[in-house]
Structure 1
Amino acid sequence: MDFEQADALNQAIRLLSLRHRARAAALLAPLGLHPGQEALLLELARTGPMIQAELSEALGCEPPSVTLMTRKLEAAGHVRRTPAPSDRRASVVELTDSGKALVGQIKRLWCALAGETVTGLPAQTVAELPRILRALAGNVDARARRPHGSGTV
């Protein structure tokens, strides 16, 4: 790939990421949430209670980030943390009734954001986007694990 093509691709991905996050922040702010917190709440809604370390893995976040998010969401009354029965050093995180109610609002906002993001694209392209974006994320993850200079660029 030549530089011009690489630059165009990297710039498009960067701009999409920045603008999507900014739009998500604007939509989440009236709910008292910051980007990332909605993903944590949605994950708990999908899976049920989880140990924080598992939640960190599921979200692809560093454990300290998940700890900070859970503390803030707990202070707001949206999640509850309790000691894990198998390991008192670990915390199990679960949604409260407030968190469950908030998940419904988040889902509506997420649908609106996705709709805004793909406006004007053909339905077939929209259907293929999750697979393509997961593949791109997987490529970046796989390359991040390789030492610099090994493999092709």
Structure 2
Amino acid sequence: MAFNYKKSITFRLVQAAKAQRARSGSHLMRIGLHPGQELVLKVLADSDGRTMSQLALALGVQPPTVTKMVTRLSSQGYVLRKVSDTDGRLARVFLTDEGRELVVFVDKAWKRLEREAMSGLDDKDRKKLRKLLRQVEKNLSLSVDDDPEHESDLEPDNEEPEVAEKKSASGKGKERSAA
């Protein structure tokens, strides 16, 4: 029997993530940002003066992605890149005053998004959902190479002809040829 992906939790998770990204994008566009840029501002608001590699690590993205985001934010006047005084190879990224002001609007956009996303869920459900999503994130963060079942999961399900015949005889499955 084919896997019904539309009824899977991972499909629902993907659909929810798409909806979240679209809604987040519309809120961020109102303040002149693209999705992902707000995270750079938030990370710098928490710890200003990070290097590009520190930002990449904090954001969970590749260095070229950070470079592109920082370049755009810099051209908008929200961040400033400064070469390190101690190591000329390192550039540190700082929020400008305009960037700090924008973080306030980012927070408002996130609060609104949170309110919209969690509408209809009580506090108990929200806490449970947060806990469950952390577990899913942890599960998916594990290396595929560490899963001994990984290779067998990727093989097609092939029932023995005997099993298929028994299912067919009991009316529980479709007939299948032994060929």
Q: Same fold (TM over 0.5)?
A: yes
Structure index of larger Rg: 2
1:131/1:11 CA distance change after superposition, 3 Å: same
SS in 2 for 1:80: strand
Give the Å deviation of 1:127: 2.5
SS in 1 for 2:145: coil
- 1:78 aligned partner, one-letter code: Y
CA distance in 1, matches of 2:43, 2:128: 23
**1:16-35 pair list within 5 angstroms:** 16-35=16-35
**1:1-153 pair list within 5 angstroms:** 3-4=3-4, 7-142=7-142, 145-147=143-145, 150-151=148-149
CA distance in 1, matches of 2:86, 2:125: 46
RMSD: 2.1
CA distance in 1, matches of 2:130, 2:45: 20
CA distance in 2, matches of 1:116, 1:67: 32
Which has more helix, going by share of residues?
Answer: 1
Give the Å deviation of 1:84: 2.2
SS in 2 for 1:147: helix
Bigger relative contact order, structure 1 or 2 (CA pairs below 8 A, ≥6 apart): 1
Give the Å deviation of 1:123: 0.7
1:24/1:13 CA distance change after superposition, 3 Å: same
Gaps of at least 5 residues in structure 1 are none
With normalisation by structure 1, the TM-score equals 0.88
SS in 2 for 1:32: coil
Give the Å deviation of 1:49: 1.9
Give the Å deviation of 1:46: 1.4
Q: Deviations over 1:2-56 (max 9, x none)?
A: 9448952121011001010000110111211100000110111112221111111
Q: Deviations over 1:71-125 (max 9, x none)?
A: 0000000001111234322211110000000000010010000110010012112
CA distance in 2, matches of 1:120, 1:77: 39
